[in-house]
Structure 1
């Protein structure tokens, strides 16, 4: 798949130039300097930034070892969170390794530190409706000779650290990666579309939904809700609150009493601190499982990954995010087929920023987009449709005070909307202060108008509206 050159930097041209001149690449667009670290907690005079040195992988490997881009395959154990609050990104990268085809599209696995090495690497990311090829140099922030941020359990492996750097570059700096939802990174790695489930209202077939999503190559993450005072608080069962975990497998296991138990496998991106309840590593429940199943499930590895009963999972966790792949994803043929369209727009004060329906006098000034739903998804003259509204650039502008507005969208059946019609939408999403709101609907076939809105009037932002109708 083609991708535009991010900031007009061409990887091949830059590498050839460095090789010709016999020097290693230094990225002028994301320099090994304080502004690339951050502005507050990682600002130039901050305690966290004090003593930071930028080093290339060759300087970090003890002799006689040499750096490797990928050592014995890129796996989820290559993703161990460092001193940065980007567990959401780490959970997404770990989930990404479960589908090697999708991973290869993002990281270009043929890259290395030997053949034509010039200190330059590149990664492909999805950004607001288009794929971009992002160039970075391999100078990484360190303290006391160790990587400051993400690292692999294999000391000589660097693909995950370089991918994190590329993601920091497109988002302005490393500090801008603090705090977020894994579904955001899922979408930026796949171009997919994310849904989420409140586990307190879990549908009865959610375990089957998880199984099917994993088979389709979807990326899954989960978290436990908590107050601001409880961020990364560890429970007595060693579950971490307000912390993103990957879901890496779902399996039904038969016990010796012939009872079948539904299990899910989760991974803490820290690479340690695991659930200590039923079905955890070396728990007594495994004594009731055949040696073959024990070996197959690798239940006792000390890597931050653990199994737990699905019933325990939905009681203890709060939120599940599933990023559905789109037709251009390089995955297997079990991916559902979609028709899709996308629109770009803006909310502007005095022109098209009328706020929500609470502002009836100005609501009609919001941008409007017409779509036709003509696919009978399930044989009932209805179309199963996913609508996603994404605001653009808030994370990149965090150091300037940028933030996500509370946004939502309204769907109307009528093509000519009068004041009374606006009060009766056919469907609408919830307002949420997130980069993206997404919701699935089953709507009668026909033509519709979608109106994206901010909750407050006179708020300005660019947005991307995507509509996927499922065949």
Structure 2
């Protein structure tokens, strides 16, 4: 929020801008019929100048105090407060009083003089590490023996075999909450790694996938801050960024709605999300040959990308 002009009050010597902030909870009548009460909500305001294309992390709020806030946090449908601040740039942060609560809201700002508002958000970008250049000589004997035991006589791993392998692995990690990998998620992994079009993974393809999963497991454990075995939407956003994906608010909300169960993301859904993101970003980059950030495609290309990507 940018307050640009101070009030026209000749008797007021203070250079300040009057404004009103109203925070309203959405769809609470529907949730009340389901036995849920209103959340206790309010907002805080911080001085903030700088780039708009950024999602502020916890460090910012630990190092900066709010310059204004709602009169109280209360479990009403709407909380509003009239405030006065000097001209400048400010960040309005609505929140529930209790941590970990999620809900839809409407934030309205009324000003007496000229002002501007904008959502503070990240640009959508992905950073991939260079593809591993692995040859058969780089694979150690223990991994080769494991692969031979898992793959059988054809020395290739099918979608079903991959599902069996991954589910055996995750059951050994008691700190992870997971319902197990599905055929759909394993098919996505095979499609992402399959370079020769056989719909199966050879030993090099499986080695690269195995390294990815080990890296993603480290990220999952790092950002499972409460060590619950699953991640909240807040932890998920930080984990995705650590994995190389910087997404905006709307995309993060879509991913949480798609991959969360009871507002929590378990390990197999986290891996499925990363596989899908990597596949879709790389597919887009192949189509965007000029690096313009936009592509054109016909219906056949669109269907192939969305159905098979």
- Give me the TM-score of the superposition, normalised by structure 1: 0.20
Larger radius of gyration: 2
Structure that is richer in strand per residue = 1
Structure that is richer in helix per residue = 2
- Give me the TM-score of the superposition, normalised by structure 2: 0.31
User: Higher relative contact order at CA 8 Å, sep ≥6: structure 1 or structure 2?
Assistant: 2
